[in-house]
Amino acid sequence: MLEYGDLVFLWSPKKGDAFLLRLAKGAVQGSRLGQLRHDDFVGKEYGSVVRSHSGESFAVLRPTLGEYTRRIKRNTQIVYPKEAGFLVMHLNLGPGATVVECGTGSGSLTCVFAHFVGPTGRVCTYDRREDFSELARKNAERWGVADRITFKVRSLDEGFDERDADAVFLDLPNPWDYIAAAEEALAPGNRLAILVPTTNQIERTLDVLREHHFADPQVLELMLRYLKTDPRRIRPEDMMVGHTGYLIFASKADPVVLPEEQAAPEAVVLLEAPGEEQKEPTSEEHGEF
């Protein structure tokens, strides 16, 4: 049963309006379909229905991590769920993993990482601004994962404290300046991910990744388009989540000698015996058949 302090997601079947709220004694949620009293939620179950003061119905749903991270209080741009989910999979995160992040911001992605590494994992996140770090801590507390996160307020000029991390993520205007620090923090064979908003940043980042011999570099952009859910009028929504950033992935590895960098084989000189005439090779000598 729902209690004060629980997080709930409200959805209107009539208008599709949605709200994410934490239940508080005596609080009221306003909407264009009427006011909703938090006290009316207490004692109900997720999946039940409540009514506004004007009689309009709202479904009481269990909030998802995606909805939470989209709606958290923020003072910076956040990493959207479409990128966050891709990062979790392609950084190979799971219970017990250690993730190092630089660019805490409002803590949206920090909460995602902490959710998936579980109670035995660790997220170490860096930001040079105390106010950003404090807001991220509060957002993590609301989702219940703050105890899995170490918040560090300082510049990365001194590098990361961590070693043999399972993954490193950089969300900075100049990630190329910190690739050496990321390489030092990563365990061999593990992946670095970087988020940048412009193609100019991609070029500089790829140059430095190559200098540090990172393997399997990949660059991608994700688009997300919802469809209208009226069964008689199924078509794309008028708005879509388009460009929000470019993702760059690469793995820490030993230097690989490319074929063009290998030493050319020594030339073999065939000397003719004195007085011996050259003859045209036969088809058999050519290996033809």
Is 172 annotated to bind a ligand? Reply is no
Six-digit token string for 40: 């009316």
Could you tell me the domains of the chain? Answer: 7-63 (3.10.330.20), 66-257 (3.40.50.150)
- Residue-by-residue pLDDT tens, the chain, 289 positions: 999 999 999 999 988 889 999 999 999 999 999 999 999 999 999 999 999 999 999 999 999 999 999 888 888 888 989 999 999 999 999 999 999 999 999 999 999 999 999 999 999 999 999 999 999 999 999 999 999 999 999 989 889 999 999 999 999 999 999 999 999 999 999 999 999 999 999 999 999 999 999 999 999 999 999 999 989 999 999 888 888 899 999 999 998 665 665 555 555 555 555 555 545 444 444 444 3
Is 127 annotated to bind a ligand? Reply is yes
What CA–CA distance (Å, rounded) separates 177 from 211? 12
Alpha helices in the chain (DSSP H): 65-71, 81-90, 108-117, 130-143, 179-185, 199-211, 283-286
In tens, the pLDDT along 166-197 reads: 999 999 999 999 999 999 999 999 999 999 99
Nearest to 197 by CA among 76, 89, 101: 76
**Residue 92 half-sphere exposure toward CB, CA atoms < 13 A:** 10
Is 251 annotated to bind a ligand? Reply is no
153 φ, ψ (degrees, to nearest 5): -110, 100
What CA–CA distance (Å, rounded) separates 15 from 36? 15
Q: Is 105 exposed, middle or buried (0-12, 13-18, 19+ CB in 10 A)?
A: buried
Give the helix/strand (H/E) hosting 60.
Answer: strand 57-61
Contact between residue 176 and residue 208 where contact means Cβ atoms under 8 Å apart: yes
55 φ, ψ (degrees, to nearest 5): 90, 5
Is 171 annotated to bind a ligand? Reply is yes
What is the pLDDT at residue 73? 83
Is 155 annotated to bind a ligand? Reply is no
What is the pLDDT at residue 123? 98
Q: To the nearest 5 percent, what fractions of the chain are helix, strand and coil?
A: 30, 25, 45
